[in-house]
């Protein structure tokens, strides 16, 4: 089942705590499920995660790229100038097309509504990289 992360309200308190606990484990180098270290520390092996940054941010982009890599996935940079969005393709169509090729996407645009619209039309998880 698809789960987007557009605002903190999208997660329960338990889910937020689980994310923070797991992040702490990964950061400290501890692996609670040591039976299969690769699977437990690199749960995104074989996945492709898109990065669509309409609004530039060096720290945010590098943080996501590094995290995606450390979790075993490939980060796919989608430049607004090279996408069809700037040439008349709708956000709805772009969401549907990218959903065929990616396993998830991080979006940083100028408007939160754009991220919400993308998420409504995507069949992959969408992460808000703006707020």
Per-residue pLDDT tens over the stretch 11-56: 999 999 998 998 887 777 655 554 445 456 688 889 999 999 998 8
This prediction's pTM: 0.84
Percent of the chain with pLDDT over 70: 86
Report the pLDDT value the prediction gives residue 36, as an integer from 0 to 100: 46
Please list, residue by residue across 60-75, b when 16 or more beta carbons sit within 10 angstroms of its beta carbon and e when fewer do.
Answer: bbeebeebbeeeebeb
Percent of the chain with pLDDT over 90: 59
Burial (CB < 10 A; 0-12, 13-18, 19+), residue 105, is: buried
Average pLDDT over residues 72-98: 84
Domain boundary assignment for the chain: 8-128
- CATH class given for the domain over 8-128: alpha beta
Residue of higher predicted confidence among 83 and 35: 83
Report the pLDDT value the prediction gives residue 24, as an integer from 0 to 100: 85
Report the pLDDT value the prediction gives residue 22, as an integer from 0 to 100: 82
Average pLDDT over all residues of the chain: 86
């Amino acid at each position: 089942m698809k789960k987007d992360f557009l605002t903190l309200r999208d997660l329960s308190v338990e889910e937020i705590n689980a994310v923070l606990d797991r992040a702490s484990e990964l950061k400290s180098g501890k692996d609670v499920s040591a039976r299969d270290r690769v699977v437990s520390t690199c749960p995104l092996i074989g996945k492709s995660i898109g990065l669509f940054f309409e609004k530039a941010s060096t720290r945010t982009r590098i943080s996501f790229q590094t995290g995606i890599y450390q979790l075993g996935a490939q980060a796919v940079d989608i430049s607004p100038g090279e996408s069809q969005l700037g040439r008349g393709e709708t956000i709805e169509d772009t969401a549907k097309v990218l959903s065929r090729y990616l396993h998830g996407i991080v979006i940083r645009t100028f408007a939160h509504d754009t991220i919400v619209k993308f998420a409504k039309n995507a069949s992959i998880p969408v992460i808000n990289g703006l707020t």
